[in-house]
Chain A
Amino acid sequence: MSYFSDIYNGIKTLLTGMRVTGGYFLNARKGTLTQQYPDNRETLKMFDRFRGEVVMPHDENNEHQCTGCQKCEIACPNGSIEIIWDRAIVEETGKKKKKIDQHIYHLSMCTMCGLCIEACPTDAIVWAQNFENSVYDRTQLTKVLNQPGSKVKDGIED
């Protein structure tokens, strides 16, 4: 008896599948997923979880959130991040404190694994959604993430 129920279920499931794809076919005009990329360069917006490159956001006072803890540098599997750091005396306490001089990011080596961003305790580095990263010279892919003259935001270490 399962012979006939197999045939029945077979036909039923095949028709279900055809209904689904048929629905897609009829909605193909409205629901097209294709992006005609170079034509819509101005309007094309990447989705939130897209991993373009690592950037360090700065606020309006030119302050970032990087304390120079180097966790990202340790987390990076292939050494795409190098941090050149320094020590400076804080006026209130008179103690020496670590600060970053340059947060160097090699985009050419980065595999976009995201381990640095997961490792960062202060959310100083995030993903950017830009995707046009091609340049004519390889050296342009080595970027300094902290802007010149920037400093760490107060109270970020507490």
Chain B
Amino acid sequence: MTKSIHDWLFSILPEGIASITEMVLIAVAYLALFAIAGLYLVLLERKVAAWFQLRLGPNRVGPFGIFQTMADALKLVSKELTSTDRVDKFLYNLAPYFVIVTALLAMTIFPFSKQLQAFDINIGMFFLLAISSIGVIGILVGGWASNNKYALIGAMRSGLQTISYELSVGLSILTMVLLTGSLQLSEIIEIQRTGGWLIWQGHIPAIIAFMIFMIAGTAETNRAPFDLVEAESELGAGFHTEYSGMKFAYFFLAEFINMFIIASIAVVLFFGGWLSPFGITEGITWFPEVFWFFIKVLLIIFLMMWFRWTFPRLRVDQLLTLEWKYLLPINLVNIVFMAIVIWLNWIL
């Protein structure tokens, strides 16, 4: 389908304009996906939270409350954008865009199916890590520019937390990259077509890497049990205490999109991306492979929500103990273990 649109655009327009039009179309498509995924992940979060706590969740706006987040978004759009006294105007206004643009950039390189990938670069995984560490600058800038002590404490905690857990995310991805031998996302998936999903191919070290990735990924997205950055009980709302209206909504959406990104990385690296389980839809040409990708992503997101509504929060010192005394040494040993597994060809 994308091929036919491409051909049609190039047939009616000169080459330069056609490629620009194509870029705009793709950007619009991704923005739409971004908005819909963000809104419905918020709704899913609220519903899942309600079910974990034996409640009903939103059920008034539309059937089963499916328009609840739309109504919330409308409310946020129509709200006044307030700011505090003596706020650093430029940085204050810039911060939400940092967060949301990095989240959007990271989304572009995921292969949703064989054909559906906007930007297939050969250093995909590296690009993802680089982009996701820019997001924390938005949080730091927002907290700093707000002229509010709670926002500042939240932002500093975010720096601490994200920089610590970036290590674990990076190293667990590195463990899997050892196995794949490639950073390109589409190639990583192609490897899994023949030998089974990577979590199966890499067996024990891959499972350890997956567990570490899930813990560190949850910490990267600043979600409970690692929500020291927002910490409702002690910091108001952390770095976005002073934000209102659409700027707040940007931070809020970016959090859920980051969750989607972490889940997507997990799906690509461990669970075969858009490949069907046991190749059950391998021969069916019309079957949309996007379906498998999104099903897997939703399952991983559900797992993260499960974490959130089960585990108690960590203190700052516990957070750092977990990272530096447990995850990091285990991760380093795990990389060596994975290297030995590959060296002795113990891959399943």
State the A residues within 8 Å of B (CB): 7, 14, 17-18, 20-22, 24-25, 27-28, 31-34, 36
Q: How far is the CA of A84 from the CA of B326 in the complex (A)?
A: 73
Contact sample, A vs B, 17 pairs, CB 8 Å cutoff: A14-B310, A14-B311, A17-B310, A17-B311, A18-B310, A20-B310, A21-B310, A24-B52, A24-B53, A25-B306, A28-B50, A28-B52, A31-B54, A32-B56, A33-B55, A34-B56, A36-B56
Q: How far is the CA of A21 from the CA of B52 in the complex (A)?
A: 6
Q: How far is the CA of A32 from the CA of B48 in the complex (A)?
A: 13
Task: Across the A-B interface, give the 5 residue pairs with the lowest CB-CB distance, nearest first.
Answer: A28-B51, A21-B310, A34-B56, A17-B310, A33-B54
Which chain B residue lies CB-closest to A27? B54
State the B residues within 8 Å of A (CB): 48, 50-56, 306-307, 309-311, 326, 330
Q: Which residues of B contact A24 (CB under 8 A)?
A: 51-54
Given contacts A7-B326, A14-B311, A17-B311, contact A32 B55 (CB under 8 A): yes
Which chain B residue lies CB-closest to A35? B56
Q: Which residues of B contact A31 (CB under 8 A)?
A: 54
Q: How far is the CA of A20 from the CA of B330 in the complex (A)?
A: 28
Which chain B residue lies CB-closest to A31? B54
Q: How far is the CA of A27 from the CA of B51 in the complex (A)?
A: 8
Q: How far is the CA of A129 from the CA of B48 in the complex (A)?
A: 33
Q: Which residues of B contact A36 (CB under 8 A)?
A: 56
Given contacts A31-B54, A33-B55, contact A22 B326 (CB under 8 A): no
Q: How far is the CA of A65 from the CA of B306 in the complex (A)?
A: 55
Q: Which residues of A contact B311 (CB under 8 A)?
A: 14, 17
Q: Which residues of A contact B330 (CB under 8 A)?
A: 7
Which chain B residue lies CB-closest to A7? B326
Q: How far is the CA of A21 from the CA of B308 in the complex (A)?
A: 11
Q: How far is the CA of A101 from the CA of B128 in the complex (A)?
A: 82
Q: Which residues of A contact B50 (CB under 8 A)?
A: 28, 34
Q: How far is the CA of A18 from the CA of B306 in the complex (A)?
A: 7
A11 to chain B, nearest CB (A): 8
Q: How far is the CA of A151 from the CA of B102 in the complex (A)?
A: 79
A148 to chain B, nearest CB (A): 45
Q: How far is the CA of A22 from the CA of B178 in the complex (A)?
A: 34
Q: How far is the CA of A34 from the CA of B59 in the complex (A)?
A: 11
